[in-house]
A and B are shown apart, each in its own frame.
Chain A
């Protein structure tokens, strides 16, 4: 089975969120970047598990600049066979999806795995766009992904429960928690990753439709009101009269 995993680069979950003067851009100074956890822990690991049981290959693809090479190497160290970096700043979901689609179109992947969303811009848009641009079925936020014969069987959330669906490939899947368990790269993987191919390709031309023009921090929270642990009636009163939530 030929699998493509789309990986993105995001600030570390502990990163301080700050913006450059006038709030025009995310302030990257002192920020460590990581592979988006959904892509790494769930999409990539599940792809590797499928390859291990069924054979085939796992390619990772990323839209980004050379600054992303460390996270691409990490994906190779965890076990991907090869990597492709589309050399452009991933400025919007539309731009990114069009780059990914242009690359994936001629490669005939059986399965394209994404994360359910990036933890920085939280868009949850790229995978659906990619599926549409490739004309493929798309199962979003999948918590389980199995192969049964020629078919994929997936569990996806619906409000108040889950659904199990069956789809014939090729297809695009976005992965949520539950699909796999995080894998830590070992020494051998890290050594091997250095020799695995990382191909850099130029972007295709895309007209920009979306632009982030401004960022700001939400208004600071008021001081917490401490309530005497003996007096829970007071807390209930405040929740009713002041916060008006009960």
Chain B
């Protein structure tokens, strides 16, 4: 019996999501009184695989195969399911990242397991096996009971801080699996230049229609740069072509939960809030004191963004230079 964590590799290493998942896996394993194992799948195994031990893995299983170089949900799900079966895992944990989302349902179906996605709390084992997860785009929280021997959980980002004090460097055991031929062929990869990727950003500066046009976006970018933040926007801004679509946050865009979300010239429509209301701290800058966003904000500034934002950027720079 064990907990098996899919330690997702990104750019040949492990990012926060993988470390959070291992931390979560270890804490769950402790509750169940079993070991926590991590699994790394890829074309090549990174040297730092043994470091996952710091976050609580007792052992890392590594499967490297040329067919796993590019991501194919079928091959990855089958690899993960096979290792889960071989090692007698009773709980499989994945990060709820883009890849984790492509895998979670698939792995659950491959294992015939009960599953919950977007989980944001450790399991409650007092009666059955229960986890909590946000629903209705963060407007509510559901408690879900999972039945049966096997469970698959995908962990919402920023739900548990990665803890590198849970163990020490651990052994890496390579496993030989028969990996089928990939059905997906990578043609090209396009990097988003320069900026911080939005899904994992700790801080986000976001602009709405109040900015009036794309020519004013330097206000957003300058503040984002000072704060070391990613940039985002409301839906009409993306629909108008002022900003790229991948910056659109909200119910029909990306859902994010950074530590800091600064909303500038955004009214705070319910569909926008749905994508950002799980942010830890929300700052709203709007000239209309009645803007609905103020109800969801921690800090509010009622004023003209064209004056307030440059002032804030300067204040942040002063603070950083101190």
Give A residues with C-beta under 8 Å from B. Answer: 11, 13-14, 17, 19, 37-38, 41, 93-94, 97, 116, 119-129, 131-133, 136-141, 143, 153, 156-168, 171, 177-178, 208-218, 221-222, 224-227, 229-230, 232-233, 235-240, 243, 245-246
- In the complex, which residues 223-266 of chain B have their Cβ closer than 8 Å to any Cβ of chain A? 227, 245-246, 248, 251-253, 255, 259-260
Q: A140-B101, A236-B319, A246-B260 are contacts. A209–B298 as well, Cβ < 8 Å?
A: no
Which residue of B74, B99, B130, B252 is within 8 Å of A131 (Cβ)?
B74
- Whether A224 and B115, one on each chain, are in contact in the complex, defined by CB atoms closer than 8 angstroms, is no
Interface string of B276-297 (1 = CB under 8 A from A): 0000110110000000001111
**A233: which B residues are within 8 A, CB to CB?**
315, 318-319
B260-A243 in contact (CB<8A): yes
Question: When A164-B188, A226-B300, A240-B319 are in contact, do A128 and B145 touch as well, CB less than 8 Å?
Answer: no
Having A141-B101, A143-B246, one finds 13 other A-B pairs with CB under 8 Å, namely A13-B271, A37-B251, A116-B101, A123-B105, A141-B102, A161-B189, A218-B134, A225-B298, A225-B300, A236-B318, A239-B299, A243-B260, A245-B259
**Complex CA–CA separation, A39 to B248 (angstroms):** 18
Contact B301–A227 (Cβ < 8 Å): yes
Q: Would you call A124 and B105 a contact (CB within 8 A)? A: yes
Assembly CA distance A126 to B115 (angstroms) = 11
Known contacts A177-B245, A235-B283: A132-B147 contact under CB 8 Å = no
Q: Which residues of A contact B248 (CB under 8 A)?
A: 177
Q: Which A residue sits closest to B296, measured CB to CB?
A: A221
B278 to chain A minimum Cβ distance, whole angstroms, is: 9
B23 at interface, CB cutoff 8 A:
no
**Are A209 and B245 in touch, CB under 8 angstroms?**
no
Structural contact, B200 and A158, CB atoms closer than 8 A: no
**A218 and B138 in contact, given A14-B270, A160-B191, A210-B146 (Cβ under 8 angstroms):** yes
On whether the beta carbons of A124 and B101 are closer than 8 Å, the reply is yes
Whether A122 pairs with B118 at a CB distance below 8 angstroms is: yes
Q: Is B116 touching A215 in the complex (CB atoms < 8 A)?
A: no
Interchain CB contact under 8 A, B145 and A224 = no
Q: Is residue B108 within 8 Å, beta carbon to beta carbon, of the partner chain? A: yes
Please name the 7 residue pairs, one residue from A and one from B, whose CB atoms are nearest each other, closest first.
A229-B303, A128-B105, A125-B105, A140-B102, A209-B114, A128-B106, A132-B109
Knowing A163-B189, A209-B147 are in contact, say whether A132-B319 is a contact too (CB < 8 A).
Answer: no
Question: Is the CB of B185 closer than 8 A to any CB of chain A?
Answer: yes
Flag if B105 contacts A235 (CB, 8 Å): no
Q: Could you say which residues of chain A place their CB within 8 Å of the CB of B71?
A: 158, 163
A11 to B251, CA, bound (A): 12
Residues of A within 8 A of B139 (CB): 17, 217-218
Q: Decide: B147 and A128 in contact? CB cutoff 8 A.
A: no
Nearest chain B residue, comparing its CB with the CB of A178: B245
Known: A128-B102, A221-B296, A229-B302. A167 touches B185 (CB 8 A): yes
Bound CA span A94–B83, Å: 22
Q: Choose one: A128, A164, A225; the contact of B103 (CB below 8 Å).
A: A128
Asked if B34 is at the interface (CB within 8 A of a chain A CB), the reply is: no
Interchain CA distance A9-B189 in the complex, whole Å: 34
Query: B183 touching A167 by the CB < 8 A rule?
Result: yes
A235 touches B137 (CB 8 A): no
25 contacts between A and B (CB under 8 A): A13-B271, A41-B252, A120-B136, A122-B134, A125-B117, A128-B104, A132-B105, A137-B183, A160-B191, A166-B184, A166-B187, A208-B147, A209-B115, A211-B145, A213-B130, A215-B140, A217-B141, A218-B141, A221-B298, A224-B295, A224-B297, A224-B298, A227-B301, A229-B307, A229-B311
- B73 on the interface (CB 8 Å rule)? yes
The answer to whether B144 has its CB under 8 Å from any CB of chain A is: yes
Contact B318–A121 (Cβ < 8 Å):
no
- Contact check, B141 vs A216: say whether CB atoms are below 8 A apart: yes
Instruction: Tell whether, in the assembled complex, residue A138 and residue B74 are in contact, meaning their CB atoms are under 8 Å apart.
Output: yes
A19-B187 contact, Cβ under 8 Å, with A132-B106, A238-B299: no
Which B65-96 residues have C-beta < 8 A from chain A?
70-74, 77
Contact of A225 among B74, B137, B184, B299 (CB under 8 A): B299
Task: Report the separation of the CA atoms of residues A37 and B271 in the bound assembly, to the nearest whole angstrom.
Answer: 12
Does any Cβ of A come within 8 Å of B98's Cβ?
yes
